[in-house]
Amino acid sequence: MFRGKVLAQPPGLYASLISPLVLVKKGFKLIYNLILQLIWSELIQGKKLEHELASLGAFVVFSFLAWLLYYFKPYNQIIMIFFLTLWLIDYHLAKKQYLYGKQITVTMELGEADSVLWQMLPPEGRILEFLPTQIRQISLVHQQILGGAFQEVMGTVWQVEINLEDGNNLLIDQEKKAFIAVKKAKIIASYFNVPIIFISSEGKGKYAAEEIAFEAVAALPQTIKLQQKNGKFHIYSQWQLNNSWLLLKQIFQKSGFLLFLLVMNGFMLGFGALVNAIVLSNLGINVGVVYLPGIFHWFKPELGWTFWLTIAILVMIFKGANLSHAKHIYLDKEELKIYRDNQKIGQIKTKNIETTLLIKEPFSVILILGENQELIIQDLQQEAEFRAFILKLEEGLTVVNDQ
């Protein structure tokens, strides 16, 4: 019998009580993401924005929220501070649940007539019976864990799943380390004689869902460099001016939401006054003269927001500094070492490297997998840089392994 564990994610007693605030936050997040997409696609890349109906829906939601904010203007700062405090408390509780929370047991054992019985014990309480011949493969999925009432990202895990021919994907285990998940997957795969695949992966060796496109090297970005001397390799990321827009986009994607809320506060008050005047005039109510200040005044947060605005900008600067670090790999016949700028973040003996993979979901990372450890490279500017990095790494590994 195989026994695995997956994280239990109870919604919490307070989740239903704050569900209206959760919906408001989701509305703001949708608007924020659409604005980022608009800025990046239309203004910077010159592409036409897709899903125009969704954009229209977001505008309607935004108008309604601005109208509500205008009506509750006397309590505006109190509401926003309460909202942010509640969000931080929810995030802290959810993070604690992710790190130390209860787990659900998953079992798999042989049933009658050589069938396989898969069971997820309560509170989920699911049971499924199938034949060994129905197992197509064992897959490993790099998955983000969302937690709390606001469903924020708590971290990532590596899920071990059984993929059946009928399309069912049965979760059997969940680990925070990829090499441990691979060990669990090997036990099941060897018993049923089926392959192991990392979902949404590219690579040259085993476990890759797709073979990486080696013929496309010439088209790859030149920000990833390789130096070779006396059988030793140095692979590193090099900053270029055209990376600035990509870095700015990543910073806003990862940490710009708080700044967005604070800056948009002033804009929404002005826009809410305009929406209110339009609604009342359409109802036949005389609204008199509506004073609208200059457009730049709309984006100016009220004086009481100076502290929060400073905090938001500092968070973005800190995140930007993390994203802009250069990544280095030093490789020879004996070992592979990874540095972030001048700080070593890990090493592995070259002979112990089982495979290297580009994992593309939920975000791009390079996984260097050993039997009892793993190294991960992340926070490059675009997927093409990850592909260039792993291609040069494979080139180096091929040479040193032949020495």
Residue 112 gets which letter from DSSP? G
Would you say residue 95 lies in a domain?
yes
Tell me the pLDDT of the chain averaged across its residues: 77
Cβ-based neighbours of 318, under 8 Å, separated by 6 or more: 255
Whether residue 54 is found in the same domain as residue 159? yes
The yes-or-no verdict on residue 266 having pLDDT over 60 is yes
Whether residue 87 is found in the same domain as residue 222? no
pLDDT at 303: 44
H or E element that contains 169: strand 169-175
Would you say residue 295 lies in a domain?
no
Domain limits for position 13: 1-194
Contact predicate 370/348, CB 8 Å: yes
pLDDT at 42: 46
pLDDT at 31: 61
- The string of pLDDT tens digits covering residues 126-168 is 889 999 999 999 999 999 988 877 777 888 999 999 999 999 9
Would you say residue 372 lies in a domain?
yes
pLDDT at 46: 44
Whether residue 163 is found in the same domain as residue 219? no
Whether residue 229 is found in the same domain as residue 139? no
The size of the chain, in residues, is 403
Handedness of CA 268, 80, 89, 150 (dihedral sign): negative
Q: How many separate domains does the chain show?
A: 2
Whether residue 152 is found in the same domain as residue 13? yes
Contact predicate 270/295, CB 8 Å: no
Rounded distance between C-alpha atoms, residue 77 and residue 79, angstroms: 5
| DSSP assignment string, 2-34 | EEEEEE-----TTTTTTHHHHHHHHHHHHHHHH
Whether residue 343 is found in the same domain as residue 379? yes
- The string of pLDDT tens digits covering residues 55-73 is 566 667 667 777 777 777 7
Would you say residue 54 lies in a domain?
yes
Rounded distance between C-alpha atoms, residue 5 and residue 98, angstroms: 13
Rounded distance between C-alpha atoms, residue 371 and residue 182, angstroms: 9
Separation in Å, CA 147 to CA 23, 27, 142: 15, 18, 16
Rounded distance between C-alpha atoms, residue 392 and residue 283, angstroms: 67
Q: Which of 197, 202, 228, 252 is nearest to 330 (CA)?
A: 228
User: How many Cα atoms are found within 13 Å in the side-chain-facing hemisphere of 41?
Assistant: 11
Whether residue 133 is found in the same domain as residue 233? no
- The string of pLDDT tens digits covering residues 300-311 is 555 455 555 565
Whether residue 171 is found in the same domain as residue 220? no
Joined together, the tokens standing for residue 180 give 């441990």
Would you say residue 331 lies in a domain?
yes
Q: CATH no. for residue 220?
A: 2.30.29
Would you say residue 260 lies in a domain?
no
Would you say residue 262 lies in a domain?
no
Whether residue 51 is found in the same domain as residue 139? yes
Whether residue 367 is found in the same domain as residue 234? yes
pLDDT at 47: 47
pTM beyond cutoff 0.85: no
- The string of pLDDT tens digits covering residues 269-316 is 777 777 777 777 777 666 555 555 554 454 455 545 555 556 555 665
Rounded distance between C-alpha atoms, residue 307 and residue 289, angstroms: 34
- The string of pLDDT tens digits covering residues 90-140 is 788 888 888 887 888 898 888 777 889 998 887 767 889 999 999 999 999
3-state secondary structure 197-260: EEEEEEECCCCEEEECCHHHHHHCCCCEEEEEECCEEEEEECCCCCHHHHHHHHHHHHHCHHHH
| Single-letter amino acid, residue 259 | L
The yes-or-no verdict on residue 401 having pLDDT over 80 is yes
SS3 60: helix
Whether residue 119 is found in the same domain as residue 4? yes
Whether residue 84 is found in the same domain as residue 157? yes
The three-point CA angle 202-205-207 to 5° equals: 65
Would you say residue 88 lies in a domain?
yes
Rounded distance between C-alpha atoms, residue 249 and residue 44, angstroms: 11
Q: Indicate the residue among 138, 164, 194 that finishes a domain.
A: 194
Rounded distance between C-alpha atoms, residue 116 and residue 135, angstroms: 10
